[in-house]
């Protein structure tokens, strides 16, 4: 499998009130093109920071990150912003949508800033994605007129607008009830089957069990990994048990 992201020996240190805290401590990982990887680990182990650093949003203090063949440390701020705009989609626990815009405008706003695409094309793409994500009827709704699950579907549409190579998702089901979380995971699995890689941070073993690999973080590094040979509905329960056993072993 061709590598989409290769991160080697990443170190990230934050200054916290004059004291430095090493949040990523020689973390190394690879993500293949089209691969679905989950990241688990205790609170504060550096999972969110890892996503930010891999996307170039926050620079690493040392180590190398290669994204789609390009070394992030050789890229200018503009090039990094362009890479994020075109190749990465972000999904967060709470989608950061604007209250004074309806759902479809929230989905297409970031793309309108990209003057390489025509407004007509952008609107059509947003409508198609909303249809695929099951919120085709909600285009004109205000964001406070839809459920948390529908809001997250809108967040996913927005992340997919540019046709990214990877979605970086930070606890995307963390604010949802378990049925809605499973529905959202069905969507992510479908997006992944169509070729988009996923790097998904989660505390939920049911979510992690859907991945191809699960990376376990502790104290800023990857300390263990699970790789599932069988996937799909039949394998889900077996993979879930493996994730829970590993969490138990690592004391997560
Ligand atoms: N911008 C920042 N400035 C200073 N410290 C930070 C910053 N971002 C994160 N940290 C610290 O880095 C550590 C790791 O945070 P991070 O959010 O990456 O952990 P996490 O594993 O995602 O945790 P959680 O599961 O609780 O979301 C924490 O101690 C946090 O306080």
Predicted local distance difference test score (pLDDT) of residue 154: 95
Take atom 12 of ligand 1 and give the residue whose Cα is closest. 23
Mean pLDDT of 71-100: 93
Contacts from 120-126 at CB under 8 Å and sequence distance 24+? 122/161, 125/161, 126/157, 126/161
Q: How many A from CA of 246 to the centre of ligand 1?
A: 23
Q: How many A from CA of 38 to the centre of ligand 1?
A: 18
If one residue of 16, 39, 49 were mutated to test the ligand 1 pocket, choosing by the most ligand atoms within 8 A of its CB, it would be: 49
Name 19's bridge partners: 16
The ligand 1 atom nearest the CA atom of 171 = 27
14 lines ligand 1 (CB under 6 A): yes
How confident is the model over 86-121, as pLDDT tens digits?
999 999 998 888 998 999 999 999 888 777 778 899
Q: How many A from CA of 44 to the centre of ligand 1?
A: 5
How confident is the model over 158-206, as pLDDT tens digits?
999 999 999 999 999 999 999 999 999 999 999 999 999 999 999 999 9
Contacts of 16 (CB under 8 A, 6+ apart): none
User: What CATH number does the domain located at 3-250 have?
Assistant: 3.40.50.300
What's the whole-number average pLDDT of the chain?
A: 94
The ligand 1 atom nearest the CA atom of 203 = 25
20: burial class by Cβ within 10 Å (0-12, 13-18, 19+)? exposed
Tokens 């401590």 locate to: 25
Q: How many A from CA of 62 to the centre of ligand 1?
A: 18
41 lines ligand 1 (CB under 6 A): yes
CA dihedral for 220, 226, 232, 238, sign (positive or negative): negative
Q: Where along the chain do its domains lie?
A: 3-250
The ligand 1 atom nearest the CA atom of 52 = 18
């Amino acid at each position: 499998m061709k590598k989409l992201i290769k991160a080697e020996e990443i170190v990230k240190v934050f200054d916290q009130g004059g004291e430095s805290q090493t949040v990523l401590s020689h973390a190394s990982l690879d993500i293949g093109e089209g691969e679905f990887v989950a990241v688990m680990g205790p609170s504060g182990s550096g999972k969110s920071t890892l996503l930010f650093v891999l996307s170039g949003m926050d620079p690493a203090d040392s180590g190398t990150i290669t994204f789609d063949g390009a070394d992030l440390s050789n890229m200018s701020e503009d090039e990094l912003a362009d890479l994020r705009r075109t190749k990465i989609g972000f999904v967060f626990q709470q989608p950061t949508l604007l209250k004074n815009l309806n759902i479809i405008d929230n989905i297409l706003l970031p793309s309108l800033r990209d003057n390489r695409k025509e407004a007509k094309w952008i609107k059509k793409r947003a409508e198609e994605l909303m249809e695929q994500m099951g919120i085709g009827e909600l285009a004109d709704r205000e964001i406070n007129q839809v459920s948390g699950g529908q809001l997250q579907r809108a967040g996913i549409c927005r992340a997919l607008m540019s046709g990214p190579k990877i979605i970086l998702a930070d606890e995307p089901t963390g604010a949802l009830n378990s049925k809605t979380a499973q529905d959202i995971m069905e969507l992510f699995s479908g997006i992944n089957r169509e070729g988009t890689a996923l790097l998904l941070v989660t505390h939920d073993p049911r979510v992690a069990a859907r991945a191809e690999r699960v990376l376990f973080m502790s104290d800023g590094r990857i300390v263990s990994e699970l790789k599932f040979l069988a996937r799909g509905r039949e394998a889900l329960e077996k993979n879930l048990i493996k994730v829970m056993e590993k969490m138990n072993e690592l004391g997560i």
